[in-house]
Amino acid sequence: MNQRTSADDVRVEPFPLRRRAVVDAVAMGHRRHTIHGLVEFDVTEARRRIHAHEAATGEDLSFTAFVVHCFARALREHPEVQAYRDWRGRLVVFETVDVAVLVESEVGGTRTGVPFVVRDAGHESVEAITAAIRTRQREPDATQRSRWLPWLLRLPRIVRRQIYRLPHLFPHRWRETAGTACVTSLGMFGSGGGWGVPITNYPVQLTVGGIAERPAFDEAGTVEPHEFLAVTVSVDHDTVDGAPAARFVERFRSLVEAADGLPATPERAAESA
């Protein structure tokens, strides 16, 4: 048997400059006292409507856009969940919901996740959010952030992290750069079920996991296969208590399970007529 030396199976490469931004973001996220709720939503009706709409019109609505729509609408009704603390220790509560969505885009010839902010998402339709996300996925990363980021990442770590702290101390500046809340999807970069538990720099973040099928009772009382979406809702316990957070999650659940914002199937439209 041939013995391989250590030089045969080891590859040494420079640490990618852009990975420093990830390391810094994780370090900043650890400063928050985040609590995570791992819950499941019945998305059977929502998925049925998306498939029926595509079959009838040829338009493929994004499931992620639907989730962002419901998430933003629930936040619009419960804005206290996306409260920030400024440099004076005051709570800054934004009534408008700007959701950062992680989309896959080309950066320097490599496909990578890039944040994209859906402005005033609480008033946007599923169709509009779908179009915005699809447009962003087709475009290279040419944002202002990508131009100044390489220079920032070459600074010493202690300097970089002090600079990263500044937007958090001035929530209005953070909102202009990164939005007020965040949605990320595990299914964006691969398939599979389960939950994800993030380290976040936002007062509220939604991590969309996988979809599992199992039997459940339908409206008629019969057992039918239903699809359940695993989601993780992460909130900053420094700015919001458990009761308001629970009310927000319940409202979010009701919107998702009612397929809010999606065109009704012909059968549902006939029932409501």
- The per-residue pLDDT for range 69-82, each reduced to its tens digit, is 999 999 999 999 99
| DSSP-derived pairing of the beta strands 99-107 and 181-185 | parallel
Average of per-residue pLDDT values in the chain? 82
What was the pLDDT predicted at 20? 75
Neighbour-count burial for 188-217, b at 16+ CB within 10 Å, e otherwise: eeeeeeebbebebbbbbbbbbbbbeeeeee
Q: Are 236 and 32 in contact (CB under 8 A)?
A: yes
Residue 104: C-alpha distances to residues 65, 89, 101, 140, 184 (Å): 14, 35, 10, 10, 11
Helix (H, G, I), strand (E, B) or coil at 91: strand
What was the pLDDT predicted at 5? 55
Q: How far apart are CA 199 and CA 194, in angstroms?
A: 17
Higher pLDDT, 154 or 259: 259
C-alpha R_g of the chain: 21
- 158 CB neighbour count, 10 Å cutoff: 7
Is residue 88 predicted with pLDDT exceeding 60?
yes
Locus of tokens 């959701």: 99
Is residue 248 predicted with pLDDT exceeding 70?
yes
Q: How far apart are CA 178 and CA 117, in angstroms?
A: 7
Token digits for 33?
A: 């006292």
- The per-residue pLDDT for range 204-215, each reduced to its tens digit, is 999 998 888 888
Question: What is the pLDDT averaged over residues 172-176?
Answer: 89
Question: What is the pLDDT averaged over residues 228-237?
Answer: 93
Closest by CA position to 53, among listed 268, 271, 272: 268
Is residue 191 predicted with pLDDT exceeding 70?
no
Q: Are 29 and 199 in contact (CB under 8 A)?
A: yes
- All domains of the chain in start order, with CATH: 19-266 (3.30.559.10)
- The per-residue pLDDT for range 116-126, each reduced to its tens digit, is 899 999 999 99
What was the pLDDT predicted at 189? 46
Is residue 228 predicted with pLDDT exceeding 70?
yes
